[in-house]
Structure 1
Amino acid sequence: MDHEHRILPDDRRRARGALSRDTGRFERFDRVETEDGWDIPEDRPAFVTEVREESARSAVNYVRSPDLPFDRSLNPYRGCEHGCIYCFARPTHAYLGLSPGLDFETRLVARPNAPEVLARELAARRYSVAPLAIGTNTDPYQPVERDRGIMRACLEVLRDFRHPVAIVTKGTLIERDIDILSEMAAQGLARVGISVTTLDDTLSRRMEPRCPRPARRIATIRALVDAGVPVRVMASPMVPALTDPELEAILAAGADAGASAASYIMLRLPREVAGLWQEWLEAHYPDRAARIMGHLRDMHGGEVYSSKWFHRMKGEGVYADLLAQRFQRAVRRLNLDRPQPDLRCDLFRVPPKAGDQMSLF
């Protein structure tokens, strides 16, 4: 089957990032949609977002990656309707027997009992408190959260336990939870990272089709800062020869909105993401596809991606070094290079349950 036959018609994937729905790597048989050979046009509906539920057996996911600033995370959802074509979490959908392509952004899994399980895990005697990261895999403030409210319920648990949390999101729905976040931030228990990939509406709509517009995300930074929540502007991912010319402008927009810190990550293309990205690139920016992929290979020893610790986030080589130098100069100029204070762990306590004896002290 030619690769081009895997690309689905435009009217079937309206407002979606991926162009195809290839089978996950663990499946025995390859699933391909194609025409039946008759002259009668196939009438197939556009993909709609489906949400099924799973009962979470655990809520806190412990990670052992030495190049990450946290050792535990939480994911209220599997898959993400934002549909960012570059999302490095796409390959995780293969573990569910689903496609990292269109299935990742249209066939979601909600975990409605996550708040209950989280509370149970935090109350366990063996639990040792450390900052919990949310949004490092899929976005907790994707559109489905508006109706489900799982993220808000998890935040309520963290507030009640006085547990530190660091959130990463592109979703402006986080403004709904400013009441909780501002209360936690006042105690040194919360901070937020807002991801801004580009300031160009057209590019954003193609690359991350169901995310809020860039200007709207900048406004969210301002709303959080005005409420006393410390915010980091994240220029991520930087795509060489496509979005990296905007690095300084993104950082400046974040600083103007009140962000107190900044970071960036180079585009990462693990497993199926590499093919999905190249497919998207050839469809939308064929004039610069070779140049972009050439820069990525230069940064990863001739490969499109390397998962090597302390290398995968930034890459290596002349182009990677130049971007790092530009970032350092910009954050110094914008006063975004101030170290963020550590989130507090000393306030943690298990809240009393109904009927418990109250402490005298």
Structure 2
Amino acid sequence: MSKEAVAALPQRAREVVEYRKSGLSLNHVQGCPLGCAFCIRHTYDLWDADRPRALMSDGEAVEQLVRHRYFRPHDTPLQVFNRATDPFLPGVRGHLFAVLEDLDRRGLTNPVLVITRGFVSVRDCERLNSLANVKVTLLFTYSGIDDKRIEPHPSGTAVRSMRLATSYGPRRYRTIFYWRPLVPGLNDTTAHLARAVGLSRWADATVFTGLFYRDEIADYYRANGLPEPYEETARRKIVPETLEERILAAFARRPPDAPPLFRKTSCAVSYAHGLPDYNGHYGIDELCDICPAAQLDRCAQAHRVPTALQLLEAAGALPEATGMRVIEVTERAAEVEGLPSEQPRYYLQHRLGFQVHDAAHPHRRRRHGRAAIGWESTNG
């Protein structure tokens, strides 16, 4: 894109490096033709951008990433093209490998998450496997939604790609069955759950999660006459309590040696690489109660509860966090206030390997980090 075209983009679209919960995210290629109605691009004013276009060269983008104040070599988890396009689209794949190979040549060992619904080939697997340093995880997004008005792109594409990528071997990269978004009445029948259980064997681990139903997405649903999944919107993903119970029951019937199920992305990614959870969820018992014993041991050995002083010292590196105040630190999490956004909170979590919660947006017991919708039996 020309400099003039880039300057005309919405402000958030121009910010090609952004911290999201599962990693520092690089998005210098924007635009996607897949047309999923629930896409997060609605919230970035990018929905109408259906043709992938690069805002800058891949080399410039990687430099912005590694020079960013949030980036820590060998430590910060990274994501590539998870906000505004699919990394395995024909016009995006070359940019993806240029970024991965650049990071790898620098000798960086950071975790790198690549989320896709797209077609992954044998040649792609070969190139991914040739990366000697970065810890790549492919997360194959699968919903099983049959309504083409909501998800026009067939879920079968991700299934075939996941089977191929997982069967390729030996391999250094890891694969995740990324089961999302789960929406009551849309893709949660007994048949849907049974199919997902069967597909989960084709990955190193499974993560399930719900729908981001923000105001912008709800507006799009109404304007296009789509069935509205919920009567209200929420800033967090929606996973109703009864849906989670049914999912856990369905997966409980798998063979003992089946790949495990997780509630959180970072837990699954870390498990797949034999590492403790980089988001520091250990201590949140209601998240860990489905984790394999070996993974719990890894996380327990790495678990360190920081002091308030250590939190303040870590925040001191960030100009935007100078007003942060530590309210309380427990075995579960640190509670803070005074942060201007989620991004510095994610930085602190990853730097300390420990949960950091904002008092303005509390994490309630059992529905940790999820919307209140469908959890009326819990407080808050």
TM-score grouping bracket, smaller chain normalisation: 0.5 to 0.7
For residues 218 and 225 of structure 2, what CA distance do their matches in structure 1 show?
10
CA contact (8 A) 2:182 2:239 kept: no
Shift of 1:143: 4.1
The Cα of 1:156 is off from its aligned counterpart by 1.5
Measure the CA separation in 1 of the matches of 2:90 and 2:69: 36
- Taking the aligned partners of 1:235 and 1:206, their CA distance within structure 2 comes to 19
Q: Rg: which structure is higher?
A: 1
Give the C-alpha shift of residue 241 in structure 1: 0.8
Quick check: 1:190–1:343 contact (8 Å CA) kept in 2?
no
CA distance, structure 1, for counterparts of residue 186 and residue 147 of structure 2: 11
For 1:17-73, what per-residue CA distance to the aligned partner results, in whole angstroms no more than 9, with x for missing partners? Answer: xxxxxxxxxxxxxxxxxxxxxxxxxxxxxxxxxxx974998753234xxxx233x11
Residue number among 7, 16, 22 corresponding to 1:69 in the alignment: 22
User: Given the superposition, is the C-alpha separation of residues 123 and 85 from structure 1 closer, same or farther in structure 2, using an over 3 Å criterion?
Assistant: closer
Within 5 Å, give how 1:64-213 maps onto structure 2: 68-70=21-23, 72-93=24-45, 100=47, 103-105=48-50, 108-119=52-63, 121-122=65-66, 127-129=71-73, 130-138=76-84, 139-145=86-92, 149-163=94-108, 164=110, 165-173=112-120, 176-184=123-131, 189-198=135-144, 203=146, 205-209=148-152, 211=153, 213=154
User: Residue 50 of structure 2: SS of its match in structure 1?
Assistant: helix
Q: Amino acid of the residue matched to residue 319 of structure 1?
A: T
Separation in structure 2 between the aligned mates of residue 159 and residue 319 of structure 1, nearest angstrom: 43
Residue 160 of structure 1: how far off its partner (Å): 1.0
In structure 1, the residue matched to 2:234 is 306
Aligned to 1:315: 239
Distance of aligned partners of 1:53 and 1:113 in 2 relative to their CA distance in 1, 3 Å threshold: farther
Structure 1 residue 240, shift from structure 2 partner? 1.1
- TM superposition shift of 1:280: 4.6
Q: When the two structures are aligned, how many residues end up with a matched partner?
A: 250
Cα separation, 1, equivalents of 2:40 and 2:14 = 24
Aligned-pair CA distance for 1:232: 0.5
Whole-angstrom CA distance in 2 between matches of 1:156 and 1:205:
36
Counterpart AA for 1:145: V
2:252 — aligned with what? 329
1:77 Cα offset (Å): 2.0
Decide which of 203, 206, 212 is 1:262's aligned counterpart: 206
- 2:17 equivalent in structure 1: 60
1:215 and 2:166 correspond? no
**What percent identity do the matched residue pairs reach?**
20
The one-character-per-residue Cα deviations of 1:206-234 (angstroms, maximum 9, x if unpaired) are 4332x3x3333222112212142311001
SS in 2 for 1:105: coil
- CA–CA separation in structure 1 for the residues paired with 2:253 and 2:49: 35
Instruction: Give 1:168 deviation, angstroms.
Output: 0.7
Report the TM-score, using the length of structure 2 for normalisation: 0.56
Gaps of 5+ in 2: 8-12, 262-267, 279-380
**Backbone CA RMSD of aligned residues:** 3.5
Q: 1:237 is paired with a residue of what secondary structure?
A: coil
The structure with higher relative contact order (CA 8 Å, sep 6+) is 1
| TM-score, normalising length: structure 1 | 0.58
CA distance in 2, matches of 1:113, 1:343: 34
Q: Is the 8 A contact 2:213 2:237 kept in 1?
A: no
> Counterparts in 2 of 1:282-297, with a 5 A limit?
282=226, 289=227, 293=229, 296-297=230-231
Matched position secondary structure for 1:90: helix
1:300-354 deviation digits (Å, cap 9, x = unpaired): xxx2x211xxxx22434x4344345346536776432373323999xxxxxxxxx
Q: Which residue of structure 1 aligns with residue 275 of structure 2?
A: 342
Q: In 1, are the aligned partners of 2:28 and 2:61 still within 8 Å (CA)?
A: no
What SS is found at the alignment partner of 1:144? coil
String of CA shifts for 1:170-208, please: whole Å, max 9, x gaps.
111465432331123x6561111000111x7xx264433
AA partner of residue 180 (structure 1) = R
- Evaluate the alpha carbon distance shift between residue 54 and residue 155 of structure 1 in structure 2; reply closer, same or farther with a 3 A threshold: farther
Cα distance in 2 for partners of 1:214, 1:328 equals 20
Aligned CA distance change for structure 1 residues 81 and 243 (closer, same or farther; 3 Å): same
Q: Distance in 2 between matches of 1:155 and 1:120?
A: 14
* C-alpha distance in 1 between matches for 2:97 and 2:30: 16
SS at match of 2:126: helix
Cα 1:266/1:330, change in 2 over 3 Å: farther
Q: 1:253 maps to which residue?
A: 199
